[in-house]
Structure 1
Amino acid sequence: MSSQGSSLRITQNQRLALTESLLRALELLQLPAAELEEAIQAELQANPLLEREDEGTEASISPEETSASPAPQSTPFDDPVGVTPIEREPSALDWASTTRSIDDDAPEAYETVAAAESLGEFLENELSLQTALSNLQRTLIAWLIGNLSEEGLFEESLEEIAAACPVKASHAEWGKALECLQQIAPAGIGARNKTEMLTLQLERLQPQDEAASAAKRMLVECPELLLKRDFRAIARRLACESALCERAFALIGTLDPHPAARFASPEKEGFVIPEVIVTRTASGALSVALNPACTPRLRFNQEYFELLNSSRLPAESLALWREKAHSARGFAHAVEQRAATLLTVARAIAKEQKEFFRQGDGALRPMTLKDIADILKISVSTVSRITSGKYMQTPRGTFELKHFFSSSLPAAADGQSVSSLAARERIRALVHAEDPEHPLSDGAIAEALSTEGISLARRTVAKYRELEGIAPKSERKRLG
């Protein structure tokens, strides 16, 4: 007969949690220049131990001349592999290696930036009002908010987003977090594609009558017939009356295809502030540097803290100042890491797309966020955050960092792939050089591209032509 009893066992395991400092680093990583400045000003006002310095030195990195440095040990969002950390003194958290001195008389870069709420800020405010959520649910929802595009969509699958999160949760928990986000967000935000964006809006409509139900089925089951407005074919497929299909179509027409458009974005402000400046050196090499007007220089007031630490303050007050000291160091390091990550990613982009700086969009290579992530050994979500809303000033103009990423078209006969942006550039050039009396049709443009090794269907040519704002052949002939 076996005996039963209790025992005590000690096990050791490792877990990575999203601490306050990691959440702060994530938040600062995705902020554009104007919002970063606002966050820094708020922190300077709230924490007397954090100061802003006035002097610095210039730093530039030449991707064509500088060899890759060994990857440091890292922790997520702190010192990611492939991002070279910036050396600093313990009491002088500045960017001596990435900034140059700023003229005190220079105009303030953010004086005319209108204060507007972004989609992320709105959702974070809404999340703070949800008192019934657990800490885990709040963390998962905050992570999902950080992965939304400017259109309010997810560019990655829920599984990929969950895999990149350092807080592990079950698939059911992620599903509940997504459902909660879609409930607190404006109708359509948090969808995984345009179809789901519209169906989420339909689910918010009241009453949920047969027209709303038919509209959802039309979007999911027969989108190709919906584009043709073939209500008889739709009625046969859905086994309903044509009149109901027409009512459902009218209902779809009342939905908002861009529910995130009312929120602030850098493109709506009328101007942008480039955080990265690319120039050419005397030898012709590319020099990539951070814009000093957008690169804050912070300092932890060690002398003041030591004075407070040695004074006879009550234990409660001393603990509060130590907490502020920890917060000041953490905030400065998070801002510093953002600058280091931005510079490293910009350097990698400039190195991979160096032909663009010589020849323009036509020389852009196919490149995805994952390509840069693999080169730097950081996560795709980190690259997405640091390139969103950040701009690069180049000899060819100012571009958002995401401008340099494009999909790859089918390889040509010589085996070399072409980016979609390069194909659009060639379409623009062909139309510009055409005879106004005999403009090129989409089919003729496709044939001309084929002779250059760019294989595009006529439908794809029409899509790219519309994206470039080029009128169809019939209208161009009238205009000519």
Structure 2
Amino acid sequence: MNLQARQSQSLTMTPQLLQSIRLLQFHHVELLAFLQREADGNPLLELVPAAEPAPPSPVETIPEPVASDPAPLSGCRDDGAAFSDGTGPAGERHPDAAERLLDLAHGAASGAGGEPASWEERVGEGLPSLHAHAMGEIAEVFGGGDERRLAEYWLADLDASGFLFADLALPPEMAPLLRRLQDEAEPAGLFARSLEECLAIQLRRRDRLDPVMGCVLANLPLLARRDFAALSRLTGESEAELLDILSEIRSLDPRPGSAFSLAPPAAVLPDAVVTQDAGAPGGWRVALNPEAFPRLRIRLEAGAPRSGSGEERVFLAQCRQSAGWLQRSLEGRARTILKVADEIVRRQGAFLARGGGHLRPMTLMDVAEAVGMHESTISRVTAGKYLATPRGTVEMKAFFSGAIAASDGGEAHSAESVKLRIRNLVAAEGAGGVLSDDDIAARLQGEGVELARRTVAKYREALGIPSSVQRRREMKARRLAG
């Protein structure tokens, strides 16, 4: 029998660090609910009413928080997957945010009659209800305790389809937790990491996930091409049997989260407000919105009893320690959000001043390196957080966009600014004729944007613009009707 001694490094997640990271991903409503629960369970904590005047901003005086995750907790998505060009599975993660930027691109939001919009009218799109539903499902499956808290970290990795980021690095000890969540959460397929896994979850609940079905799911591209000959060789099933399998797969829901993305949005409370200020760096000043940052008061007088049992004193000491940790975590959250918002505004000043055509390419890594944090921290900070700008209230994630090369070798263009150009070109079509995808690609190249025809088609479809053939038919029908 051989004994070997090895040294290894591993990340120990302290309760304080877990709490700080957890608070980062909460938006205002979730944070408020979380703090209310904490205050209900801790006699030393009191939630400060929103109407009570806030003291001078603490972000100037508080100690530097734990600003970045030492390592991604859940296999943080990379930039390309988290903020792709808006098409394909990854690109579907934040369609509403991207559309919001395009809608605001022509100028500041306006109210009826072209007058400047009031604050209420300029409030942006609300958060989809998928996040709240998923949080409720986690609570239903795990109740309380550590399992629930761990599972809630996956909320930041959910996309609009209800999928977890495909490359999620799952520690072995977390696999049973995810499997249980997938097996019990509704709708079936929620928290899947791929389309194949989503369909498999639904079939497993129907007791229909046999080896043949598993083989078909592992070869979905063949099924999409209706290559029954190849599938027959792989499965040993006849074409008629494969058609039955295809029919059953078509009865499944490939996007279990989509039912929630269309829910009527609630009014958004911006986390920070961006204003023009000639004296500020870059001409823009970012300030936290006090209404979006609930405050706690620690009632120290209640934590120093002159009498009481030893158990009571121990309990109050624990409450004091917990309250202190929570207060510091909240202060760190505020500082981190402000720091990230500052960097986003610094990079996107041209968009704020001149509109969507001037949105610069920007990735998670760009911001992470600039502020000295991990990409996973930037992802959590920007999820569900909003900036009130002169061009409307915009989700932070909407400012991230992939880069498209310039044909003249100059500065790259953002995917969203290119989509805006495509939308404008199509909107300008008239009696002169309809532009094909090749025509649009040529026009863009003339403007210094290097884009293949197939990418033009992909962006056009993402914008919901019909093909040139369909647009030509519609134009002809309008002329005949007129």
- The equivalent residue for 2:203 is 202
Indicate yes or no: 2:291 matched with 1:281: no
Aligned to 2:95: none
1:404 Cα deviation after fit: 0.8
Alignment gaps of 5+ in structure 1: 1-8, 81-106, 163-170
Asked if residue 155 in structure 1 is aligned to residue 170 in structure 2, the reply is: no
Alignment of 1:166-205 (within 5 A): 172-186=172-186, 187-205=188-206
The answer on whether the counterparts of 2:44 and 2:302 sit within 8 Å (CA) in structure 1 is yes
Question: What is the one-letter code of the residue matched to 1:183?
Answer: D
CA spacing shift, 1:403–1:439, aligned 2, 3 Å: same
- For the 8 Å contact 1:427–1:445, the answer to whether it is kept is yes
The one-letter code matched in structure 1 to 2:137 is: F
Counterpart of 1:220? 218
Q: TM-score, normalised by structure 1?
A: 0.73
* Distance (Å, rounded) in 1 between the aligned partners of 2:376 and 2:264: 24
Range that drifts further, 45-54 or 466-475: 45-54
Deviations 1:255-287 (A, max 9, x none): 112223455x79753432211111112558111
User: How far apart in 1 are the matches of 2:346 and 2:327?
Assistant: 29
Counterpart code for 1:120? M
RMSD between aligned alpha carbons?
3.9
Match of 2:81 in 1: none
Residue 266 of structure 2 is aligned to residue 259 of structure 1 = no
Residue 385 in 1 paired to residue 385 in 2?
Answer: no
State which drifts further: 12-21 or 331-340: 12-21
Task: State the match for 2:462 in structure 1.
Answer: 467
Asked if 2 retains the 8 angstrom alpha-carbon contact of 1:411 and 1:417, the reply is yes
Q: Any conservation in 1 of the 2:23–2:329 contact (CA below 8 Å)?
A: yes
User: For this pair of structures, how many residues does the alignment match?
Assistant: 412
Residue of structure 2 aligned with 1:300, choices 298, 301, 305: 298
Equivalent residue for 1:428?
423
Is it true that 1:24 corresponds to 2:19 in the alignment? yes
Q: Which residue identity does 1:24 align to in structure 2?
A: Q
**Cα distance in 1 between the residues matched to 2:158 and 2:218:** 22
Where does 1:53-64 land on structure 2 (aligned, <5 Å)? 54-56=52-54
RCO higher in structure (CA 8 A, sep ≥6):
2
1:375 equivalent in structure 2 = 370
Match of 2:101 in 1: none
1:3-14 correspondence to structure 2 within 5 Å = none
Distance 2:67 2:287 in 1: 25
Letter in 2 for 1:126: V
Residues in 2 aligned to 1:312 and 1:258: alpha-carbon distance in whole angstroms: 59
Q: CA deviation at 1:140?
A: 6.1
Pairwise CA distance, 1:203: 3.5
Return the TM-score normalized by structure 2. 0.73
2:329 is equivalent to residue 319 of structure 1 = no
Q: In 2, are the aligned partners of 1:222 and 1:234 still within 8 Å (CA)?
A: no
Contact kept in structure 2, 1:188 and 1:200, CA below 8 Å? yes
Please report how far the alpha carbon of residue 384 of structure 1 lies from its aligned counterpart in structure 2 after TM superposition.
1.1
Residue 287 of structure 2 aligns to a residue in which SS? strand
Q: CA deviation at 1:237?
A: 6.8
Matches of 2:353 and 2:40, distance apart in 1: 45
- Displacement of 1:324 in angstroms is 1.6
2:106 aligned partner: none
Mapped to 2, the partners of 1:393 and 1:353 lie a distance apart of 14
Work out the CA distance in 1 between the residues paired with 2:234 and 2:419: 37
Distance 1:59 1:413, change over 3 A: farther
**Aligned-pair distance for 1:230?**
5.3
Pairs within 5 Å for 1:29-428: 29-51=24-46, 52=48, 54-56=52-54, 74=66, 117-128=132-143, 141=151, 143-144=153-154, 147-155=157-165, 157-159=167-169, 172-186=172-186, 187-208=188-209, 213-214=212-213, 216-221=214-219, 223=221, 225-229=222-226, 231=228, 235=232, 240-262=237-259, 268-283=264-279, 285-306=283-304, 308=305, 311-428=306-423
Structure with the largest fraction of helix: 2
